[in-house]
Amino acid sequence: MISGSARTTAGGSAELAAELKQQARAQGFEPVGVAAVPASERLQLRTAALERWLAAGHQASMAWMADGRRRQLELLLPGVRSVLAVGLNYYVNAERAKGSLAVARYGWGRDYHRVVDQRLRRLGRWLEQRSPGVRWRACVDSAPLLDKAWAEEAGLGWIGKHSNLINRRQGSWLLLGHLLLSAELPADEPAESLCGSCTACLEACPTQAIVEPFVVDSRRCIAFHTIENRDPELPREISRAMAPWVAGCDICQEVCPWNRQASSSQEPDLQPRSWLLNLQPDEALGWSDQTWDEQLRASALRRIKPEQWRRNIRSLG
């Protein structure tokens, strides 16, 4: 949503930034931070890295990754001067039943796009009351935005070698959201990388999708193939290595040392649907399209169509 235009004084902008962060935390977000627009040289390097990634074909069939708005934030909100970046911990301390199929944790609860977007919009409406005339736009990861790069710029964490954002206290189990603002707010310090010489994620990936530190080739990625690949059959090299994953993949996050102390989210919207923790192959293959539709109501996993679920399950062989 885009609403109103305004400027604030230096003192007023610091006060507004502090209040906005407080309101963001009241919505359940943590960490929170602010990035300035234009950003530092690091953002330019991230943009150049995106260009190299696209040129190498690592996006596979995800043509939307080439959307020019990822390189020009002003196209999303003309006159943007600041970005509020927020994180929402989605790790839940629960495990799937032994022998059941595996589903990425981000898909266990309610559609996170809706959860994050609704809270960002509440922040935007609060901002309209607090500072009339300020324009804003809420963005989740479905928007053409370099979301991890802007979160890094705002100090939430650093982009790890597995390409996920890592916060030193909360690890990488973070849903990201951004509020683009026409108000000029004081920026937080960008985060510094703390991956060091660790290569746990590269070594753990069963398909070697992390072709070099910080670079994921979607054509080799289990998450891409189980969610985005629309072909009737999966590539043999994927199907041989994907068990037990049938919707996304968390392997590179599970082995990350920064996730060893992950705290369990108490957010009701993010608690797992019970069937996702005990998804049995034979039973799931017998579900009708209607059953899949009902089970995945208000879920981010609705992106996977019933025929894709069945294909993924059969691919485990």
Active site residues: 141
Contact 247, 300 (CB under 8 A): no
Q: Where are the alpha helices (DSSP H) in the chain?
A: 10-26, 41-55, 112-130, 147-153, 200-204, 222-227, 236-239, 251-254, 281-285, 289-295, 306-315
Q: Cis (ω within 30 of 0) for the bond into 78?
A: no
Closest CA to 19 of 130, 121, 128: 130
- Burial per residue of 120-150, b for 16 or more beta-carbon CB atoms within 10 angstroms, e otherwise: bbebbebbeeebeebbbbbbbeebbbbbbbb
Total Cβ atoms within 10 A of residue 309: 23
For the chain, the maximum distance between any two Cα atoms, rounded to a whole number of angstroms, is 63
CA distances from 302 to 91, 181, 297 (A): 20, 31, 7
Q: Rounded to whole angstroms, how far apart are CA atoms 249 and 221?
A: 9
CA distances from 229 to 132, 244, 253, 303, 308 (A): 45, 17, 22, 11, 8
What six digits make up the tokens of 251?
A: 């392997």
Q: Rounded to whole angstroms, how far apart are CA atoms 219 and 150?
A: 25
